[in-house]
Structure 1
Amino acid sequence: MFGLFKKKTELEKLQEKYKELLEKSHKISHSNRTEADKLMAEAEEVALKIDALKKK
């Protein structure tokens, strides 16, 4: 209950975005490969940001 109003950290936001992008990429990959590749590239950029935050 006390975590109800807890704000997400930047790392948590990026991890959530990364997961969403991977899921979208997988779903789209069956019908539109180029769009899936774009989403995957965007997910990789987010992964790099996550790594940078973890190293700090």
Structure 2
Amino acid sequence: MFSFFKKDPIKKLEKQYEELMREARDIQRSGDLRLYAEKMAAAEALQLKIEALRAKS
């Protein structure tokens, strides 16, 4: 009934994705490539989840 009050889960995930990408950029600039790769893998997994939710709706 009041579905317009519900928060969009895709927007929340996109915000998390942007934060992960920002963190990965900063880590890469500091030279820790192993941690950078871990952050990028997490961001990639999140991006796949976002795409799956978009395809569903």
Q: Once the 2 structures are TM-superposed, how far is the Cα of residue 15 of structure 1 from its aligned partner?
A: 0.2
Counterpart position of 2:18: 19
Q: Structure 2 regions of 5+ residues with no counterpart? A: none
Q: Structure 1 regions of 5+ residues with no counterpart? A: 1-5
Identical-pair percentage: 37
Runs of 4+ in 1 over 4 A off after TM superposition: none
TM-score by length of 1: 0.83
Q: CA RMSD in A?
A: 1.2
Structure-2 separation of matches of 1:35 and 1:47:
18
Counterpart position of 2:7: 8
How many residue pairs match? The answer is 51
Counterpart position of 2:52: 52
